[in-house]
């Protein structure tokens, strides 16, 4: 896999989908993440966990996708959060003041 590519693997556990994201989530690849998350919701999974341990870059387009599904989960009575974020993801979400929202227990402001 090249540094600028994105790989997403899904594990299904009942009504929960856990996504393992690897690579760069940028303006070109954010739509791939959006599509994968949309598929999970269309299959009735309302609890989504996105593991971003191997994400090397997160752009505003990626943040938009994360926020969109966070709001959808809250509206539909589900849950959505980022699990095991990389240092880059923690920093970007912290600078955007979204760490408290998307990273339970990992706030930069603590």
Domain boundaries, the chain: 6-102
Mean pLDDT of 25-35: 96
Is residue 4's pLDDT more than 70? no
| pLDDT tens profile 65-82 | 999 999 999 999 999 999
- Report the DSSP beta bridge partners of residue 19: 10, 50
SS3 call for 56: strand
What is the assigned CATH class of domain 6-102?
alpha beta
**Total-model pTM:** 0.88
């Amino acid at each position: 896999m090249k540094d600028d590519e994105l790989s997403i693997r899904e594990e299904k556990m009942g009504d929960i989908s856990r996504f393992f994201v690897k690579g760069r989530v940028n303006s070109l690849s954010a739509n791939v993440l959006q599509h994968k998350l949309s598929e999970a919701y269309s299959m009735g999974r309302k609890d989504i966990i996105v593991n971003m341990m191997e994400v090397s870059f997160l752009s505003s387009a990626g943040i938009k996708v994360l926020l969109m599904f966070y709001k959808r989960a809250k509206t539909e009575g589900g849950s959505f959060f980022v699990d095991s974020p990389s240092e880059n993801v923690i920093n970007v979400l912290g600078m955007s003041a979204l760490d408290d929202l998307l990273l339970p227990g990992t706030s930069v402001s603590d």
